[in-house]
Amino acid sequence: MAQLHCSAHPDSSLIEDYHAGDMICSECGLVVGDRVIDVGSEWRTFNNDKNTKDVSRVGAAENTLLGGSDLSTMIASTSSGETLLDDNGKPMYHSRRNLSVSDRTLLTAFREIGQMAERLNLPKMIADQGNILFKQVHESKSLKGRANDAIASASMYIACRQEGVPRTFKEICAVSKVSKKEIGRTFKLILKTLETKVELITTGDFMSRFCSNLSLSNAVQKAATHIANKAVDKDLVPGRSPVTVAAAAIYMASQASDNKKTQREISEVTGVAEVTIRQSYKLMYPRAQELFPEEFKFDTPIDQLPTQ
């Protein structure tokens, strides 16, 4: 910088433009030098404390769930403790992380859980909770013989329910490599192994998301929620899952509105089979008059709704 100066304004200060890689005269804007290399840190620390050091290029953030989470190395040795030497007689070094098979298993599972969360558009905190659950199961060694993919998928399912954003088994299955049945089995084993609890899911846990994906109005969503709750309270759909009841309620509410949805459309969004929606709807239809909220504005009267 001491050797560079503007020919027209030799005494003026120069401005470094790291984005363009140029050195510019502050008086006239003349580019005095180019290909300037930014030797500063890769990002800034927005902190009011002037004594805090800025983060530099030191690789990815440390994962506290891993045993060897740093990037340090150690001298390779045999099982008897003797140092391994290379062809030149110097000690051999290798990454500490490569020593642990357990850490490699955890890394693979964490990567899989992160990918599932990303495909489901879930925040990082859900993936972090899934990682913690997987590590607890892995360290307990009580599910030996179960595929790690199944444990990761079930951990993701439990994390969603614990954080109040439940997903169905079918939704987890769609973004994983494991069958719906295997996820369900592993889910029950994890609950038994960790002696943990999850809140019971209700129709309201899915209604907002399903109606949004079907482009239904708030009025239809409110009606569907009311219908589902009433159907459960009156025990009209015994043995049916909350997801199934929600799907049938959405079908009934949409058919009474000006934005009608078919059973196939609802099935594609909710993951409930068309025949299952039809069976639950047939149980609810005879009491439809009691299920709709009083303020609902009908586009199609109840007596003209489809019977199945």
- Is residue 252 within 8 Å of residue 291, measured between CB atoms? yes
pTM attached to this predicted model: 0.65
pLDDT at 223: 92
Nearest to 91 by CA among 104, 82, 103: 82
Residue 90: pLDDT band (50, 70, 90) is low
Task: Check residues 97 and 174 and name the one with the higher pLDDT.
Answer: 174
Residue 31: pLDDT band (50, 70, 90) is confident
Give the count of beta carbons closer than 10 Å to the beta carbon of residue 191: 14
CATH topology of domain 1-43: N-terminal domain of TfIIb (2.20.25)
CATH topology of domain 204-304: Cyclin A; domain 1 (1.10.472)
Task: Check residues 147 and 6 and name the one with the higher pLDDT.
Answer: 147
Collapsing DSSP states into helix, strand and coil, what is residue 299? Answer: coil
H-type alpha helices, the chain: 101-119, 124-140, 148-162, 169-174, 180-194, 204-213, 218-233, 242-255, 263-270, 274-284, 288-291
pLDDT at 264: 93
pLDDT at 307: 84
Is domain 101-194 classified as CATH 2.40.110.10? no
Task: Check residues 7 and 177 and name the one with the higher pLDDT.
Answer: 177
Q: Where are the domains of the chain?
A: 1-43, 101-194, 204-304
**Residue 96 reports pLDDT greater than 50:** no
**Residue 178 reports pLDDT greater than 80:** yes
Average of per-residue pLDDT across 114-141? 89
pLDDT digits (tens, 9 = 90+) for 220-252: 999 999 999 999 998 998 888 899 999 999 999
Q: Is the dihedral of CA 261, 264, 265, 267 positive or negative?
A: positive
**Residue 3 reports pLDDT greater than 80:** no
pLDDT digits (tens, 9 = 90+) for 265-282: 999 998 889 999 999 999
Task: Answer whether 1-43 and 101-194 agree in fold.
Answer: no
**Residue 137 reports pLDDT greater than 60:** yes
Percent of the chain with pLDDT over 70: 76
- Which segment, 68-72, 141-145, 192-196, 257-261, is predicted with the most confidence on average? 257-261
Cβ-proximal residues to 185 (8 Å cutoff; 6+ apart), any chain: 150
- Is residue 151 within 8 Å of residue 190, measured between CB atoms? yes
Nearest to 206 by CA among 221, 184, 191, 223: 221
